[in-house]
Amino acid sequence: MAQRHLPTRLGALAVAFALAAPGLALADAHMIYLTRHAEKAATGTDPALTPEGQVRAQNIAAALKKAGIKKIYSTSYTRTQQTAQPLASYLQLTTQTYDLTQLAAFAQQLRALPDNVLVVGYSDTTPELIRQLGGDPGADIAETEFDRLYQVAIGQDGDVTTILLTSLPSPVTPPCANVTLNQSNVTAAAGTWVYYTIDVPECAKLPRRRN
């Protein structure tokens, strides 16, 4: 079984392309996507995702929604379930749980599946599962690192290619909307004022001039 490792660090606009481009070269491969849970709250025995983590989970879903994923796996903990939920909701899939203490058996199960899958885990279990699949996770995942998104491609001949992508921590800022006021049929008596209140988006406000 051959093994290849292709690290790919991506910017905001390149994530979707990177998920598609490896598939062009590995058209017959079975894709397993793996990620650590997104940013979590600092306290509690079963912490939920922070607002930043919720955004990252949404971005993971946006990146993978056209990756042909048919199954999604997570542990039973809140932070992994919440990371998987946006994609599961979009694809109308039920997130299945797996046993963290049986990674070798789980890896064999994943290798036998004909479908592309997403697996959400932890900073220590995600690299170990990649190794059990025959891939190369690279350096250890730091406690403060949440952006790794792995694509493990298993070819029909058993070759394994590990591609390291990057998930996004914040939404892409849309262009600022134009603000217009069109009141062509308004009339007012002489000597009076007519006032209108309009909501101006923050991005459209001009900075205050300093003298």
User: DSSP for 163-208?
Assistant: EEEE--SSPPPPPPPP-----TT----TT----------GGGSPPP
pLDDT tens track for 86-120: 999 999 999 999 999 999 999 999 999 999 999 99
pTM of the model: 0.73
- At residue 4, φ and ψ (nearest 5 deg) are -130, 145
Closest CA to 71 of 38, 19, 40, 33: 33
Distance CA 149, CA 111 (A): 18
Lowest mean pLDDT among 98-112, 159-173, 195-209: 195-209
CB within 8 Å of 181: residues ≥ 6 apart: 196, 198
Average of per-residue pLDDT values in the chain = 82
Closest CA to 167 of 86, 67, 58: 58
Residue 118's SS3 state is: strand
CB within 8 Å of 83: residues ≥ 6 apart: 35, 37, 38, 49, 53, 56, 57, 60, 74, 120
pLDDT at 185: 57
User: How many CB atoms neighbour CB 112 within 10 A?
Assistant: 8
Distance CA 118, CA 70 (A): 8
Res 157 pLDDT > 50:
yes
Spell out a b/e string for 158-197, using b for 16 or more CB atoms within 10 Å of the CB, else e. Answer: eebbbbbbbbbeeeeeeeeeeeeeeeeeeeeeeeeeeeee
